Amino acid sequence: MVQDMIEADEHCISSDIGPSTVRVINTENLKQSDENESICSRDINEPDKHISSDPGPSTVAINPADPSTWPSSENLEDTQRAYLIKEISSFFPDIDFSKTEREGRHLTKSMWYRILSNGKTIKRSWLTYSKPKNALFCAYCKVFSSRTSGPSSQVTSTLVTTGFINWKKASERIDQHERSLNHKQCEIIWKTRSIAMKTCKGIDKELEKSIEFEKRKWKEVLFAVIDAVMYLATNCLEFRGSDESIENILEQSHSHSRGNFLNLMILLAKYNPSLTSVLSNIKKGQTSYLSKTIQNEVIELLGNTCRDQLLYKIKKAKYFTIMFDCTPDTSYTEQMSQVIRYVEIETESCSIKETFIDFIEVEGKTGEYLTSQILEKLRNDGLDIQQCRGQSYDNGSNMSGIHKGVEARILQQNELAEFVPCIAHSLNLVGMHAALASTEAVKLFGVVQNAPRQSCRALAKPGGLQSIRP
């Protein structure tokens, strides 16, 4: 009867949790400074410190993706159990089976599936894998074995303690453990707790409701931050100001010194209750997702997403042309811009696209060095130089030299990458040499070039511009 209950629950219970997070952060940790905030290292589903007046003892860091690091069932806190139930990956972990070798044997995907007597296949959602230890664990028993009444030999099974590593007997041992009384009891406790948490009908239902409320609130705040960053970045507006204090921010009027980002967040708070709640109660050192660190990280994530989409279109087009050009920025750091041309084919039409991809900091200017940087960047972007059908640079000898320039070295890699000189740069050279052939033109451009310098000197005199009037 117990087994029938378990099999019946296999299809009515599923995890709605996304990819596992890397740690549990105690509510006290939310007090850390915004200067050290990071979206990637923080789970936006974490409850805020205000969900309970008694946050309880400090929560030990725990990694859902590595069961070998979990405390024993006797030492697990109830909040950690609830967290693991929510965060365990949905049935099948992401495993590179080629790297699970032990004594010439490997784990297989079929081990995560069980065939019932009626021929139906179900997934073993309890079977988890520890990559650092290359071992298998039972998540259900690892979490709830201390609450069962099975034989002690089952509680001390390697699937519960140190991890199972004998791949030769893996299928036999997994099947044996799955049929044990202790495992069945743990599975019933796990699934019962999971249902209670999803429906908020457990003894801690009020806490669960508070946690869900906090999750929704912080998601809405983060969405508002992302919208603000996208708006400012799209319109090329500066983000920060000279005064970025956020205490009592809603009680103060809009200030230019606060910067566009914080002023925009104040505006959005008028239409976003969750954001209003956060800004009304925020104090220095508390989590707010408004720091410069979060702004920079969102910009980087959005930029990476855009770049990935562009590279996807280029790969879909298959053939492409590369254009690279070096120039120093305002800090005198030499940067090489990367532009790709390709043909985008739609349902009934096609068009030529010219897409900026990235800036590459370079330290040398020789043809050999720049070629190595270009080829390395193309490899990192997943673009095959053999699919390149054109290359275009300025007319510098290090770029377009027919012997040791980038052009020649790329042609050695792919003879189909035809070189086309940059027309704009060529036209500029033509104009420069044409002007040098005329004495009047040389004088004219000399006057134009010196005019700003003379104007600045005149402005510094008492008479100002009057002194240079004819």
Phi/psi at 38 (5° precision): -155, 130
Residues 272-317 pLDDT 10s = 888 888 888 877 777 888 888 889 999 999 999 999 999 999 999 9
Residues 6+ apart with CB under 8 A from 44: 215, 218, 219, 222
Binning pLDDT at 50, 70 and 90, where does residue 450 land?
Answer: confident
Half-sphere exposure of 382 (CA within 13 A, CB side): 11
- Assign 3-class secondary structure to 93-141: CCCCHHHCCECCECCCHHHHEEECCCCCEEECCCEEEECCCCEEEEHHH
Entry pTM: 0.55
Greater confidence, 209 or 377? 377
pLDDT at 381 over 80: yes
pLDDT: which is higher, 35 or 212: 212
Average pLDDT, stretch 213-238?
90
Give the mean pLDDT of 69-93.
Answer: 77
pLDDT band at 322 (very low <50, low <70, confident <90, very high): very high
Q: Is the pLDDT of residue 158 over 90?
A: no
Instruction: Please determine, for residue 374, whether its predicted confidence score (pLDDT) is greater than 90.
Output: yes
Is the CB of residue 122 less than 8 Å from the CB of residue 67? no
Domains of the chain: 2-24+59-199 (no CATH), 213-297 (no CATH), 318-422 (3.30.420.40), 426-468 (no CATH)
In angstroms, the CA 342 to CA 215 distance is: 43
Using the predicted structure, report yes or no on whether residue 460 has a pLDDT greater than 70: no
DSSP assignment of 50-86: GG-S---SPPPP--TT-GGGSPPTTT--HHHHHHHHH
Residue-level pLDDT at 456:
62
> Could you tell me if 240 and 231 are in contact, meaning their C-beta atoms sit under 8 angstroms apart?
no
Q: Rounded distance, CA 183 to CA 144, Å?
A: 9
57-83 average pLDDT score: 77
Tell me if 172 sits within 8 A of 8, measured CB to CB.
Answer: no
Check whether 426 has a pLDDT greater than 90: no
Model pLDDT, residue 22? 31
Query: pLDDT at residue 211 above 90?
Result: no
Assess contact for 159 and 143: CB atoms under 8 A: no
Q: Interhelix angle for 439-459 vs 423-436, to 10°?
A: 100
